[in-house]
C-alpha cells in the first residue's frame, strides 16, 4: 500500500504511542510490546489481540515500533492506516500547493504592509518632545486606525 512521503511525515508527524492509538476513522492500531517496549497494563496486549481476532478490520497490530500519528484538521490520523487519510491530506496539500503558497504570500504581504504602516506612524511621532500622545495613546490610535482599515476591507 502507498505511504505518505518522508517529507510529509517529517513535517506533520505529531507523535507516537508505544501502546495503542485510535485513528479518526475508528480503527485502533496497537504495538507488539516485544517490539515497542511499551508500558502495557496486565492483559492489555492479550485483550487487543482478542479484539483483533474478532474484528481484524478495526484492530491492527502495527508492524512498527510505535504507532505514529498526525494531528491535522482537528483529527488524529494514524500513519499508514488503511483508511488512507494521511495520504489524502498529503495529496490535498500538494494539489493545492500553488493556492496555499499564494495565500501565504498574500498574508505575509499584508503583515509586511502593516509593519511598514506601523513603522511610519512610529517615526512620525517624537515621543520625547511631542506631548500629544503617550505611548499607550499612540498604540490605541494605531489600533483604531487599523480597525477602520479592517472594517473598510470587509
Q: Which residues of the chain form contacts with Zn ion (CB under 5 A)?
A: 23, 25, 27, 81, 83
Which grid coordinates are listed for 22?
485510535
Least distance to Zn ion from the beta carbon of 6, Å? 20
Q: Nearer to Zn ion by C-beta: 23 or 67?
A: 23
Structure letter (DSSP) for residue 40: P
Neighbours of 142 (CB within 10 A): 16
Question: Which helix or strand (DSSP H or E) is residue 22 part of?
Answer: strand 20-22
Q: Nearer to Zn ion by C-beta: 25 or 121?
A: 25
Least distance to Zn ion from the beta carbon of 24, Å? 6
Least distance to Zn ion from the beta carbon of 26, Å? 7
Q: Nearer to Zn ion by C-beta: 92 or 135?
A: 92
| H and E: helices and strands count for the chain | 6, 6
Amino acid at each position: 500500500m502507498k505511504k505518505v512521503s518522508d517529507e510529509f511525515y517529517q513535517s506533520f508527524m505529531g507523535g507516537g504511542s508505544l501502546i495503542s492509538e485510535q485513528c479518526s476513522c475508528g480503527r485502533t492500531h496497537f504495538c507488539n510490546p516485544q517490539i515497542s517496549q511499551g508500558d502495557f497494563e496486565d492483559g492489555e496486549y492479550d485483550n487487543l489481540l482478542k479484539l483483533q481476532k474478532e474484528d481484524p478490520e478495526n484492530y491492527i497490530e502495527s508492524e512498527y515500533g510505535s504507532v505514529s500519528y498526525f494531528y491535522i484538521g482537528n483529527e488524529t490520523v494514524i500513519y499508514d492506516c488503511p483508511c488512507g487519510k494521511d495520504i489524502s491530506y498529503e495529496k490535498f496539500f500538494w494539489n493545492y500547493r500553488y493556492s496555499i503558497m499564494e495565500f501565504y504570500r498574500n498574508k505575509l504581504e499584508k503583515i509586511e504592509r502593516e509593519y511598514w504602516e506601523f513603522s511610519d506612524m512610529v517615526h512620525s511621532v517624537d515621543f520625547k518632545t511631542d506631548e500629544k500622545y503617550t505611548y499607550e495613546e499612540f498604540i490605541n490610535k494605531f489600533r483604531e486606525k487599523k480597525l477602520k482599515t479592517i472594517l473598510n476591507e470587509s
